[in-house]
Structure 1
Amino acid sequence: MNRFVFQLLLACCATAALADDATFTAAPAGSFTIAVIPDTQSYVKQTSASDSDGDAVLRNPIFETITDWIATNRQQQNIVFVSHVGDIVDKNVPEQWNVARQCMDRIHGVIPYGVTVGNHDMVTAGDSSLFQKYFPESRFKDFDWYGGSFHPDRPDPAISGNNANSYQKIRTPHLNLLHLNLECNAPDDVLAWANKTIASHPKHHVIITTHMDLGPTHRPTTNQGYIIDPKGRMEWKKCHSRRGNTAVEMWDKCFKLHENVFLICSGDQRRSQAMHVTAHGDHGNVVHSCLSDYSSDGSLRLYRFVPDEDRVDVITYNADREQLTRTTQLVADHEEHQFSFEHSMPSP
């Protein structure tokens, strides 16, 4: 039996085990996990029993639950990094940003993390000033894992600047990872910066989180179209007007050019919800694109790296219900929620 077939059988067995196991076990020895938080747009006003005035307080209970679960299970799952796919808020207003920062404060200084600017996190023209106010570069720059952010060649950083596009470095005993958070429909100057950043880390395994990647290939013309239209890498955009790049353009101008890029994480499309697409970069490398947008039902994605077996187990876990997400009304196939893929992980 050749090595590829053996690895494929291992992956299939792992997928079956994850899908059938009612309990979620601790990460095995030697493995590590990257947690990916899907869109967190469910903000509600709730009245606290301890509030004598009876005033409703804005909260995001699902966001709180997810980051609490990550913090609580950090050691059990050996979570080394967390990425948010964007649409951190529903409405781009200070009240929601304040709640979002409080939710992320649960892991701030505890686990390295990055946040992605989604279309709800900026104005259509690309101004992400409020994101930059609540998650500026200064919030992260003193951490040794924080690499830096894109600085536009103009005085005002409101568009694309001040941590709207950033990178982080994660070192593990088995491999060095470079992670980039790229804003929704990142313009050409951002992609030029991303290309330079990736090229300057040739020995790092590269993961990119960007908000729009997989979903309906063309912009749907009906609500039902978001569910039934052909899906893949999207050829339409929401932000930055003419300057913005579609997911296909971001792939062509950046992602496919680098042999060390192997994983792209995205959100945005709650009616597509979960997708896994593989493609080959220009150097023949396999790139896994993974969409996860569970419409704030409590599910998050866990990418469990198993270096001894050159395998990544992709686990969808509902932190609110405390159970694996095996199937949903929109995506019945459990292999879109629980699956594995092969990735070579030689020691650095």
Structure 2
Amino acid sequence: MDRTEDRGGQRTRLDRRALLQTAVAAAAAVAAVAAAAAAAAGVAGAPAAGRGRHGYDGESPRFALAVLPDTQYLFDADSADPEPLRATFRYLVGERREANIAFMAHLGDVTEHGTADEIRLAAATFRTLHGTVPYSVLAGNHDIDGSRDDQRGDSAYLDAFGPERYRRMPTFRGASDDGYNTCHVLRGGGREWLVLALDWRISDRGLRWAQGVLDRFPELPVILTTHDLAWADEDGAAELSGHGRRLWDGLIRGNDQIFLALGGHYWPPGRTVLTNDAGNDVHVHITNYQDRYYGGAAMIRLYAFDLVRGVIDVETCAPWFLARDPDRRSPLAAETVELTGPADRFSMEIGFAERFAGFAPVVPPRPRPPAAVLPRGTVAYWRFDPAGLAAVGRDGEPVADGVRARDLSGNGNDLTVRRLHDSGPTALTWSDGHHEGQPAHASLRFDGGKGPDRGAILTTAAGAPLNSEKFTSGYTIETYLKLPEPFEGDHAWMGILSWEGRNGDAGKTTGWSPEEPTCSLNLSPERFLQFVVYPHRQDADPTSWSHALPVGRWMHLAVVNDGRRTVVYVDGSKIARNPAQRSTGIATLGKPFVIGATQFEEKYGQGFYGWIGDTRIVAGALSPRDFLTPGGS
């Protein structure tokens, strides 16, 4: 671009100034559109999934989008120097596996004058990415005849960066008839999303094409890229340019799928958040470094999406300078190698599911029947929906003493409800709350506590086979739980599940007290998960400790013993403090198994406080992929 630009009829000087803190939102949506519908839209194929060439993993919940703005000063007649851009591309190729880079989007003004020689040199430089990182390029006003829209006809730019360039890329899904607008479908986080790369001056015909693409990919979230979108004032607050306003009114505001719009052309970088017709945020960003040392040195910005944490981590660097020996960088290279100010290195929390609920709602998994979650070796399985509970009421309705929870493994380890002390009806109620991956969509709400002691338990009968099971070949004990938010009252050392009986009666001498039961899963005052077991064969009490469990959210817990040692998992993630001590079996004493409390001196004090869902015990060590929730997450 030039140093001055027309902003709504006013000529405004674009001085170099501080960059603005930026925010970006991203996520992914649900299944790809059928091939027939795609063909009707002028698009074809389906994106490759899973780890492919050069290590990219489309199923990983962490992936990155690279954004490359104006490179025009690197391709400027006889002063051209493509080496910074080559270095950036080598960096993207080399980092593709480590950063899980899905795609690169160029924001236009590839060259300064759009001559055949400049375009030819730029096109050859881009080939560094071919076969590795897929990408899109769009025309900026310096690449073509900027006085005309996308119906301008042939150009040196179109010859080099037209649709034929992308046809072998797995992400390419089609182009407008004129060739200046393209669409690309990416896979990241196990889902698909769309990049819509639009010309510097899109025509009415081009807008109709873009709308047609959106209509045929109605469930994909969209990142729109163009050259001229918005400009920023000296404080970094951005507003739409004249062309950006046309895109907003003609395409963006009426299509809730478009959540992020990226442009270059102007500097300094800036951002704004606009509200679309659906009442949702659309993040509008300017990214451009051509005013910096060496024409920006092909500086790249990486948007790293983390769908587990719900965070976008953004960083900006110049790989050409980064690759040099720090002792040999010039002063200006040293200060430009990486931009670490709040405008160029930051994180932002994103509500992915909420933002895309209007066009790609998350469909919760359906309940799974008991037969689907009974692997070989299942000793007991309890759930609190109609399949497993003898009496199911409304949410919040008490579950009476004597109600039976059937052992769906068929091994006769049914549980019976009993209240502790003088606890009232609300000590145990039925709930339709559940972990999203839980087979049964139901749980029990326990309202246990101290002072006065209260709670409720579910116990096996006196002669149940589980009471005496020794598990010498290993075991897996799984359950789902949720702690209330706020977490009120004193619930220190409340029990989640256990076997009754004293470890001293089993001949154990190593523990904190002989009055402890032989096996229990508990919660410490700091909400650390504690699993303590007195093995059948060893005189020992190996104890696992987790991190502080969160409140207000469902979790999957798993205790896995392979006959030698025990490992505890929370949401499919192995906790840190698992003892290496030998542990073979459980020193059960023929006494009942219990959900909802832990004894001391063969007496119950407080009961559990929170929700407990499906619980399963298997005689053998399961891997996380075989947990009730695959992976446990």
TM-score range, shorter chain: 0.7 to 0.9
Q: Is 1:186 the counterpart of 2:181 in the alignment?
A: no
Residue matched to 1:60: 82
Pick aligned residue for 1:120 from 124, 129, 142: 142
Q: Secondary structure at 1:86's aligned position in 2?
A: coil
TM-score of the pair, normalised by structure 1: 0.72
Residue matched to 2:128: 106
Residue matched to 2:320: 320
Q: Distance in 1 between matches of 2:190 and 2:314?
A: 18
The runs of at least 4 aligned residues of structure 1 exceeding 6 Å deviation read: none
Can you list the C-alpha shifts for 1:189-222, whole angstroms capped at 9, x where unaligned?
1111111111211111110110011215xxxxxx
Residue matched to 2:249: 252
The answer to whether the 8 Å contact 1:119/1:184 transfers is yes
The answer to whether the 8 Å contact 1:43/1:60 transfers is yes
Q: Distance in 1 between matches of 2:75 and 2:182?
A: 29
Residue matched to 1:310: 310
* Residue type at the aligned position of 1:195: Q
Q: Distance in 1 between matches of 2:74 and 2:188?
A: 35
Q: Distance in 2 between matches of 1:248 and 1:77?
A: 34
* Residue type at the aligned position of 1:97: I
Deviation at 1:343, TM superposition (A): 4.1
Q: Distance in 2 between matches of 1:81 and 1:39?
A: 17
* Residue type at the aligned position of 1:255: I
Structure number with bigger Rg: 2
Q: Distance in 1 between matches of 2:103 and 2:118?
A: 24
Q: Distance in 2 between matches of 1:230 and 1:306?
A: 26
Q: Secondary structure at 1:80's aligned position in 2?
A: strand
Deviation at 1:91, TM superposition (A): 1.0
The answer to whether the 8 Å contact 1:180/1:207 transfers is yes
Residue matched to 1:232: 238
The answer to whether the 8 Å contact 1:33/1:302 transfers is yes
Can you list the C-alpha shifts for 1:159-191, whole angstroms capped at 9, x where unaligned?
xx12x1000001224331111100112121111
Residue matched to 2:544: none
The answer to whether the 8 Å contact 2:148/2:201 transfers is no
Q: Is 1:338 the counterpart of 2:346 in the alignment?
A: yes
Deviation at 1:335, TM superposition (A): 3.3
Q: Distance in 2 between matches of 1:303 and 1:196?
A: 27
The answer to whether the 8 Å contact 2:316/2:344 transfers is no
Q: Is 1:146 the counterpart of 2:172 in the alignment?
A: yes
Can you list the C-alpha shifts for 1:284-316, whole angstroms capped at 9, x where unaligned?
221111111001323211111101122222222
Q: Is 1:73 the counterpart of 2:95 in the alignment?
A: yes
Distance 1:311 1:139, change over 3 A: same
Residue matched to 2:224: 208
Residue matched to 1:155: none
Q: Is 1:288 the counterpart of 2:304 in the alignment?
A: no
Q: Which has the higher contact order (CA 8 A, sep 6+)?
A: 1
* Residue type at the aligned position of 1:325: L
Pick aligned residue for 1:87 from 100, 104, 109: 109
The answer to whether the 8 Å contact 1:42/1:62 transfers is no
Q: Distance in 2 between matches of 1:254 and 1:248?
A: 10
Distance 1:208 1:83, change over 3 A: same
Q: Secondary structure at 1:73's aligned position in 2?
A: helix
Distance 1:337 1:251, change over 3 A: farther
* Residue type at the aligned position of 1:297: G
Q: Distance in 2 between matches of 1:294 and 1:144?
A: 29
Q: Judging by fraction of residues, say which structure has more helix.
A: 1
The answer to whether the 8 Å contact 1:59/1:99 transfers is no
* Residue type at the aligned position of 1:288: H
Q: Secondary structure at 1:233's aligned position in 2?
A: strand
The percentage of aligned residue pairs carrying the same residue is 23
Which deviates further from its counterpart, 277-286 or 334-343? 334-343
Q: Distance in 2 between matches of 1:106 and 1:230?
A: 34
TM-score of the pair, normalised by structure 2: 0.41
The answer to whether the 8 Å contact 2:63/2:189 transfers is no
Which deviates further from its counterpart, 134-143 or 289-298? 134-143
The answer to whether the 8 Å contact 1:214/1:231 transfers is no
Give the 5 Å matches for 1:261-276: 261-270=258-267, 272=268, 274-276=269-271
The answer to whether the 8 Å contact 1:43/1:96 transfers is no
Q: Distance in 2 between matches of 1:88 and 1:347?
A: 39
Residue matched to 1:132: 158
Q: Distance in 2 between matches of 1:204 and 1:45?
A: 38
Residue matched to 1:297: 296
Q: Secondary structure at 1:122's aligned position in 2?
A: coil
Q: Secondary structure at 2:97's aligned position in 1?
A: coil
The answer to whether the 8 Å contact 2:237/2:270 transfers is no
Q: Distance in 2 between matches of 1:45 and 1:92?
A: 9
Distance 1:258 1:57, change over 3 A: closer
Distance 1:60 1:144, change over 3 A: closer
Q: Distance in 2 between matches of 1:146 and 1:262?
A: 20
Deviation at 1:32, TM superposition (A): 0.1
The answer to whether the 8 Å contact 2:312/2:348 transfers is yes
Distance 1:234 1:288, change over 3 A: closer
Q: Distance in 2 between matches of 1:31 and 1:317?
A: 20
Aligned residues: 276
Deviation at 1:107, TM superposition (A): 0.7
Residue matched to 1:15: none
Residue matched to 2:539: none
The answer to whether the 8 Å contact 2:75/2:112 transfers is no
Distance 1:44 1:248, change over 3 A: closer
The answer to whether the 8 Å contact 1:173/1:347 transfers is no
Distance 1:267 1:44, change over 3 A: closer
